[in-house]
Amino acid sequence: MSSRSRVASTLRRAKVNFGNFTRPIPYFAQPRWQSTASTEDAEGVAKGTTGSSKTIKFTSETYPSIKRDSRFAEITEEHVNHFRSLLGTESAIIDGVTRDATDDIEPFNGDWMRKYRGHTKLVLKPASTEEVSQVLKYCNDNMLAVVPQGGNSGLVGGSVPVFDEIVISMSRMNQIRSFDEVSGTLVVDAGCILEVADGYLGERGHIFPLDLGAKGSCHIGGNVATNAGGLRLLRYGSLHGSVLGIEAVLPDGTVVDDLSKLRKNNTGYDLKQLFIGAEGTIGIITKVSIICPQRSKAINVAFFGLESYEKVQEAFREAKGQLSEILSAFELMDRQSQDLVHRVTKNKRPLESEYPFYCLIETSGSNTEHDSEKLEKFLEYVMEKEIVLDGVVAQDTTQVKALWGWREGVPECLGHWGGTYKYDLSIPISELYSLVEETRAKITDAGLLGEDEEHPVVDVVGYGHMGDSNLHLNVATRRYDKEVEKILEPFVYEWISKRSGSISAEHGLGLAKKNYIGYSRSDTMIRLMKQIKDLYDPVSGIHLL
Amino acid sequence: MSSRSRVASTLRRAKVNFGNFTRPIPYFAQPRWQSTASTEDAEGVAKGTTGSSKTIKFTSETYPSIKRDSRFAEITEEHVNHFRSLLGTESAIIDGVTRDATDDIEPFNGDWMRKYRGHTKLVLKPASTEEVSQVLKYCNDNMLAVVPQGGNSGLVGGSVPVFDEIVISMSRMNQIRSFDEVSGTLVVDAGCILEVADGYLGERGHIFPLDLGAKGSCHIGGNVATNAGGLRLLRYGSLHGSVLGIEAVLPDGTVVDDLSKLRKNNTGYDLKQLFIGAEGTIGIITKVSIICPQRSKAINVAFFGLESYEKVQEAFREAKGQLSEILSAFELMDRQSQDLVHRVTKNKRPLESEYPFYCLIETSGSNTEHDSEKLEKFLEYVMEKEIVLDGVVAQDTTQVKALWGWREGVPECLGHWGGTYKYDLSIPISELYSLVEETRAKITDAGLLGEDEEHPVVDVVGYGHMGDSNLHLNVATRRYDKEVEKILEPFVYEWISKRSGSISAEHGLGLAKKNYIGYSRSDTMIRLMKQIKDLYDPVSGIHLL
């Protein structure tokens, strides 16, 4: 059961019933839903498109300019034997060094976007912080390169090996350690799956302050290491604010024991912050303590059609002002993105007509009636002022799930034709959508976009977390194509740089963007980052900087 | 005009009127208010008790074990001349080196608690980041020790010199640089006074996500450097989450240009986090960019009497559950703290009877009626269940201000008899008040607590931000006394350490607690902090570690 449907079952008890209001909402068409059975959840679609990673080119072939650092040792039987004795059980090692283990190892060598593929022959699955420490110390002493891996749901190639780096999988460290119902503080192992933690919290009236499409497979350690943003940031803020403590292991084996459960602790430098967003490059997070808010009793979801991006901005300003403390999501989807979802899922669209832009709004609060009244008032206002042209409000949990499907389904549906060029950008809100229009124009002008197989590009779409000024510019393609790439880069990065935006809002740098950091960070900042990398890991540094 | 009264004037328009509810609230006594004129605001009282700092012992005499590091140079006329030419205008320097400037310099040498007093003879007031950079570079090259100073409202002696460190005052860098009403992003100079920024935001429908007693004098740069917590943390979270960007200058003059205005930016290490809570020890913050929430239209304040700390915990759990997204403060005050406020202010008490514990609850939301209904329901519940014995709800802005006065007035009133031993602690909620009881018992048993001049201690009180598990244990004294100190330390720190609490929840380490960090941090963490200090400031390090 997905986290979304758990949220929904809460809603069922606190059913929103707009029929109770004094006047009906005639301007809202009744949603014309298909059976939800045809709406595959994000993870399912993702798995479906991934297929066997063996058909994918090696990263080392795709990017021949990336060379293996010859200072790193090759893995020998002796190394494997050491790890075997260290980790004890057979299940802790996938050994492709002394035997053939290709099939078992391949999932650890590739990513779900089918973009990256490594050559690793060894996967280690430590079961404790002490084991992580001993593994890293040994690797450090013996010049063995490593790559930490959580749920491997990243989008920038940061969790898969490029060459023969040892994969350190956190999957066996997956326990929930403690939860304090009064303070809301949860302590979990890094390998705990986000959805598992959120389910555990749900049974205790709380919610994990982070939600994202990959919740069924991503690890909390990976979420924290990549400073994941996702769907709840607008309401619950960034992990830099909600993570209270971290236990991590440095490359030399030092255990950073900073697993505070306190909301406030001003005793010296807040070093745990360095690990949030460092993408595993200065250490491996082994445990996380995090403050979790109360789960809302009432959840409402509305879906609108709008005629222009100007109207989208107006709707956002009104939603912030009128829905204020109960606004929990404000998501943007353009017509092109919804057309592609429709083509893939064949689901009936929520609205009768088509519009250039769509928004999804979610409210969550403690009082169903109050929330419905606020939302009703807001909807009346935006309809009367013609900010919004049409819309629906979910009437039950099935509809909540289905409406979210039109937003959460975008990334997976885009992959339907082959692959997707993905850009995850922070841009000042007023200019946010211009980039999509300019990119689409450039690709169209170059004759690369079209309906048939001759054209590599299916469409250029924009969607994302409007509430956080976070645009996902995606180019759905039939095949990865050098002509398309030449148009996209460095154009997109230069465009962002001119507006002091971020070339990676929430996905991180990974391998995909490590060479482009200069578009979002000054030379001074890059120098200071290198200093930190050198401080904790003077030897290595494959994935960042 | 204080920030509180601005909040209050918002409330007047959206007046809470419990008379509209179907049944009256007979169990709530009408508040018996005195004129607010007799309730001095925090800052006024503080100034009143500070007096001339010249009567205070030098820190170097109080703590003879602290020695001046002989590697630092003495300030010469040549140095002063250099700074004079660098900073240009006469108003940028207070020069007690080549002339007598004692009176002008004394305010920079002392703190408002009258606990610390330094020997500085030179105060520099740079007007730009470039000037800060040049000053620091020169000091670094010439081995001149410095101490950055903001509003000098700290409680741990972190912003005043001990010996002859040059004071770098940020008071001339006090501009508001920009505000984006759509995203809520504010960019300010470090020397901007918190109340000024909050007033500016108030006129634009927003609020600074931090509020504290010293708002009329503290600088935002100092707030960020000390990771100030205060009254709004429960609702708006820590500065680690809300600060989006920082510009800072390292000891060698390097300008850390990390002043992002983006809500999301995952491009490498989040180095700005290191400066939040570093107390100025690795660099001077010169600008801050921060995300500011919408200002709430409706604000309600209620004040309760409770019979035990167990009931306080129950009330907190209920408030979190029932008031949820509109709860903006849950403050605890014990009887002893309120007795002392009463003795100093002579104000009429809010409740008719006296109780062992009092709580102040604030709600803030976007809809007056909804909020009042939620609060009413909550109050009915806690009265019916006898969790709360009596209470009042503020009916207008004067009452809102007066009720807050009973909480915000505590620290100042405690200083009335001479001085206060202050402990700012994070403790798991269930044990939070036991420390006050144990401390009071120890001091009483030692015969140190009493009504007359012979007894150094007036009373031992506990109050604080219950919502953040943050206790202020305060010992009001007639004079600072070695016998009292012997009972308090290391007892308090050991007690905290046993419960994995924090010896400094929000005030920081400063000079007061720098030797006690080991009670809240492991040897490994202290070693890693020293590494960071060495990285950015290999030479100096007077105030921390």
Proportion of chain A above pLDDT 90, given as a percent = 83
pLDDT per residue as tens digits for the range B263-289: 999 999 999 999 999 999 999 999 999
* Start-end of H helices in A346-453: 368-384, 397-408, 410-414, 434-445
Angle at B312 between CA B307 and CA B317, to 5 degrees: 145
Supply the ipTM of this predicted assembly: 0.89
- Going from the C-alpha of A425 to that of each of A436, B265, B267, the distances in angstroms are 11, 8, 11
| Cα gap B406→B397, rounded to integer Å | 15
Average pLDDT over residues B434-448: 98
Write down the H helix ranges in B111-251: 129-141, 194-202, 220-225, 233-236, 239-242
A window 455-494, beta carbon within 8 A of B: 465, 468-470
A500 Ramachandran zone, left/alpha/beta (phi>0; psi -120 to 50)? left
Q: Averaged over B444-467, what is the pLDDT?
A: 96
User: Is residue A263 less than 8 Å (CB to CB) from chain B?
Assistant: yes
Cis peptide before B490 (omega within 30 of 0): yes
Please report, for residues A181, A365, B495, the alpha-carbon distance to residue B498 in angstroms, rounded to integers and kept in the order given: 21, 38, 5
A20 falls in which pLDDT band (50, 70, 90)?
very low
A132-169 pLDDT, tens digit per residue, is: 999 999 999 999 999 999 999 999 999 999 999 999 99
Contacts of B521 in chain A (CB under 8 A): 267-268
Q: Please determine, for residue B354, whether its predicted confidence score (pLDDT) is greater than 70.
A: yes
Residues of chain A contacting B503 with CB distance shorter than 8 Å? 267
- Beta-strand relationship, A122-124 and A166-169: parallel
pLDDT band at B4 (very low <50, low <70, confident <90, very high): very low
pLDDT tens digit sequence for A173-190: 999 999 998 889 999 999
Under DSSP, is residue A532 helix (H, G, I), strand (E, B) or coil?
Answer: helix
Give me the pLDDT at residue A115, please: 87
Which of A255, A264, A290, A326 would best serve as a mutation to test chain B binding (most B beta carbons within 10 A)? A264
Question: Cis ω on the peptide bond leading into residue A356 (within 30° of 0)?
Answer: no
For the stretch B68-124, pLDDT in tens is 999 999 999 999 999 999 998 889 999 999 999 999 999 999 998 888 999 999 999
End-to-end Cα, chain A, rounded Å? 39
**CA of B374: which chain A residue's CA is closest?**
A367
Residue among A387, A384, A470 at smallest CA distance from A423: A470
By the 8 A CB rule, do B417 and B476 touch? Answer: yes
Rg for chain B (alpha carbons), in Å?
24
Residue A540 confidence (pLDDT): 67
pLDDT for A197: 98
pLDDT at A22: 24
Q: Cβ contact (<8 Å) for B426 and A262?
A: yes
Q: How many CB atoms lie within 10 A of CB A360?
A: 24
Q: Which two three-digit tokens encode residue B137?
A: 């570079």
Is the backbone of residue B508 left (phi > 0), alpha (psi -120 to 50) or beta?
left
Least confident among A453-467, B6-20, B328-342, B352-366: B6-20
CA distance A199 to chain B (A): 19
pLDDT at A24 over 90: no
pLDDT band of residue A113 (cuts 50, 70, 90) is confident
Q: How confident is the model at residue A31 (pLDDT cuts 50, 70, 90)?
A: very low
Query: What is the torsional sign of CA A445, A448, A451, A454?
Result: positive
- Put simply, whether A296 touches B (Cβ < 8 Å) is yes
Report all structural domains of chain A as residue ranges with CATH numbers, in order of start: 3-32+296-407 (3.30.70.2190), 48-169 (3.30.43.10), 176-291 (3.30.465.10), 418-536 (3.30.70.2740)
pLDDT at A329: 95
CB contact under 8 A, B266 and A517: no
Q: What is the CA radius of gyration of chain A?
A: 24
Give A327's strand partners.
Answer: A363
A443 contacts chain B (CB < 8 A): no
> What per-residue confidence (pLDDT) applies to A54?
52
Q: Which of A388-392, B45-49, B79-83, B533-537 has the lowest mean pLDDT?
A: B45-49
CA-based nearest distance A38→chain B, Å = 34
The H-or-E segment that residue B258 falls in is strand B255-258
Percent of chain B, pLDDT > 90?
A: 83
* pLDDT on residue B427: 95
Structure tokens at A107: 């999932």
- pLDDT over 60 (residue A436): yes
CB-based contact, B277 to chain A, within 8 Å = yes
Whether residue A245 has pLDDT greater than 90: yes
Instruction: Note the pLDDT of residue B540.
Output: 67
Q: Are B322 and B374 in contact (CB under 8 A)?
A: yes
pLDDT of res. B348: 94
pLDDT of residue A106: 95
Q: What is the pLDDT of residue B81?
A: 96
Please compute the mean of the pLDDT values over residues A119-125 and round it to a whole number: 98
- Mean pLDDT calculated for residue range B4-12: 30
Which pLDDT score is estimated for A45?
Answer: 29
Give the range among A126-135, A492-501, B228-237 with minimum mean pLDDT.
B228-237
- Residue A34: is its pLDDT beyond 70? no
Q: Is the pLDDT of residue B361 over 80?
A: yes
If you average pLDDT over every residue of chain B, what do you get?
A: 88
For B82, counting Cβ atoms within 10 Å of its Cβ (0-12 exposed, 13-18 middle, 19+ buried), the class is middle
Residue A313 phi/psi, 5-degree rounding, is -65, -40
Specify the 3-state DSSP secondary structure of B170: coil
Asked if the C-beta of A238 comes within 8 angstroms of chain B's C-beta atoms, the answer is yes
Q: Minimal Cα distance from B364: which residue of A?
A: A325
pLDDT of B182 above 80: yes
pLDDT for res B24 = 27
CB–CB of A351/A390 below 8 Å? yes
Confidence check: pLDDT of A473 > 70? yes
Segment A472-497 shows an average pLDDT of 96
Helix (H, G, I), strand (E, B) or coil at A210: coil
Of A183, A256, A321, the CB nearest to B294: A321
Measured between alpha carbons, how far is B393 from A543 in angstroms, rounded to an integer?
57
Strand partners for B249: B255, B284
pLDDT band at A9 (very low <50, low <70, confident <90, very high): very low
What average pLDDT does chain A have?
A: 88
Pick from A226, A241, A257: which is nearest to B240 by CB? A241
On the question of pLDDT at A37 being above 60, the answer is no
Side-chain-side CA neighbours of residue B200 (13 Å): 21
**pLDDT value of position A505:** 95
Confidence of residue A351 (pLDDT cuts 50, 70, 90): very high
pLDDT at A153: 94
Query: What's the pLDDT score for residue B114?
Result: 83
For every residue of B467-501, DSSP letters joined together read: GGTEEEEEEEESS--HHHHHHHTTHHHHHHHHTT-
Contacting residues for B93 by C-beta, under 8 A, at least 6 apart = B80, B83, B84, B87, B122, B123, B124, B125
The answer, yes or no, to whether residue B37 has pLDDT greater than 60, is no
Q: Which of residues 175-204 of A touch B (CB under 8 A)?
A: 180, 182-183
> What is the full DSSP assignment across B34-71?
PPGGGS--HHHHHHHHH--GGGSPPHHHH-TT----TT
* B366–A374 C-beta distance less than 8 A: yes
Report the pLDDT value the prediction gives residue A110, as an integer from 0 to 100.
Answer: 95
Output the pLDDT for position B115.
Answer: 87
CA pair distance A115, A109, nearest whole angstrom = 11
Model pLDDT for residues A199-227, shown as the tens digit of each residue: 999 999 999 999 998 999 999 999 999 99
Q: Encode A22-54: b = buried (16+ Cβ within 10 Å), e = exposed.
A: eeebeebeebebeebeebbbbbebbeebbeebe
At A355, is the pLDDT very low, low, confident or very high (cuts 50, 70, 90)? Answer: very high
- Retrieve residue B180's tokens: 């984006």
Q: Which of A39, A16, A19, A1 is nearest to A296 (CA)?
A: A16
Please tell me the least confidently modeled range out of A36-40, B68-72, B186-190, B366-370. A36-40
